C-alpha cells in the first residue's frame, strides 16, 4: 500500500501487489498479498476534508506572507459573512473570487492557491477544492484550432476547484504575432471568468 499525504492528511491510498522470484523454489513467482488485517479500499471510509479551522491553522503556520495572510483572512471573513446572510434569507451576491499571485519562485504561490481551494470548499463555493496547475505549454496549441480545446480541457479539469496558471504573464508576450495563440487563451479565460 502507498499513501499520499497533503497537509498531514491522507488524500490517496493505493493498494498494489508485488511479486518476486523465490530462490528456494523452481523459479515460480510468489505473490505478496496485503496484510489480512487491512481493509479493502471499497470498505474504507472516505477521508473527511479538512475543517475551515484546520485549513486556516495550516495557513497561519506558513512563514512570512503577512500581507497575503491578511488579504486571505479578510476575504475569508467576508465570504463567511455573505454565506451567513444568505442562510438567513438575504440575497447577497458573492464577490468575484479570482486572484492573481505575484512573487519569485518558492514564495508560496501554489501552496496559497491550495489553501484557498480548501477554504472555498469549506465555505461551499467549490465542490472539490483541488488545484489544477497548468502553464503556457498546457494551454497554447501549436497550430490553428488547437488552443481552444486545450484551454477548455484545462478548465474542465479544474471544475469544482482552482485553475492555477503558472507564469500567466507568458500568455501575453510583447510583440505578439498572429502565429502566437496566447491571446486566444486569454480571450477564452476572460469569457469563462465572467461566466
Residue 126: pLDDT over 80 = yes
- Number of alpha carbons in the 13 Å side-chain half-sphere of residue 81: 7
Q: Please, where in the chain does CATH 3.40.50.300 lie?
A: 52-194
Report DSSP letters for 55-84, one per residue: HHHHHHTSSS-HHHHHHHHHHHHHHHHHHH
| pLDDT number for residue 162 | 92
Alpha-carbon distances, residue 76 vs 54, 70, 73, 120, 155 (angstroms): 14, 10, 5, 8, 24
The stretch 63-67 carries a mean pLDDT of 85
Percent of the chain with pLDDT over 90: 13
d(CA 151, CA 139): 5
| CATH topology assigned to domain 52-194 | Rossmann fold (3.40.50)
Residue 177: pLDDT over 90 = no
| pLDDT number for residue 134 | 93
Mean pLDDT for the chain overall: 78
Comparison of pLDDT for 157 and 60, the residue scoring more: 157
**pTM for the full predicted model:** 0.67
d(CA 30, CA 20): 6
How far, in whole angstroms, is CA 181 from its chain's centroid?
Answer: 25
144: three-class secondary structure by DSSP? coil
| pLDDT number for residue 133 | 93
pLDDT, one tens digit per residue, over 92-120 is: 887 778 888 888 888 888 888 988 898 88
| pLDDT number for residue 153 | 93
Q: Give 139: exposed, middle or buried? Use CB within 10 Å, 0-12, 13-18, 19+.
A: buried
| pLDDT number for residue 175 | 66
Amino acid at each position: 500500500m502507498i499513501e499520499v499525504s497533503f497537509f498531514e492528511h491522507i488524500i490517496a491510498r493505493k493498494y498494489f501487489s508485488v511479486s518476486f522470484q523465490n530462490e528456494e523454489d523452481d523459479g515460480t513467482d510468489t505473490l505478496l498479498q496485503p496484510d489480512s488485517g487491512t481493509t479493502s479500499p471499497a470498505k474504507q471510509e472516505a477521508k473527511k476534508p479538512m475543517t475551515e479551522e484546520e485549513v486556516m491553522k495550516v495557513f497561519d503556520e506558513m512563514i512570512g506572507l503577512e500581507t497575503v495572510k491578511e488579504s486571505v483572512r479578510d476575504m475569508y471573513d467576508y465570504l463567511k459573512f455573505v454565506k451567513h446572510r444568505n442562510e438567513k434569507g438575504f440575497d447577497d451576491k458573492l464577490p468575484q473570487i479570482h486572484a492573481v499571485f505575484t512573487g519569485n519562485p518558492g514564495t508560496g504561490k501554489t501552496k496559497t492557491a491550495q489553501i484557498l481551494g480548501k477554504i472555498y470548499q469549506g465555505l461551499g463555493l467549490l465542490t472539490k477544492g483541488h488545484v489544477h496547475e497548468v502553464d503556457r505549454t498546457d494551454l497554447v496549441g501549436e497550430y490553428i484550432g488547437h488552443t481552444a480545446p486545450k484551454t477548455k480541457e484545462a478548465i474542465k479539469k479544474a471544475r469544482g476547484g482552482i485553475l492555477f496558471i503558472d507564469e500567466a504573464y507568458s500568455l501575453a508576450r510583447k510583440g505578439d504575432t498572429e502565429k502566437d495563440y496566447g491571446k486566444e487563451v486569454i480571450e477564452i479565460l476572460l469569457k469563462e471568468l465572467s461566466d
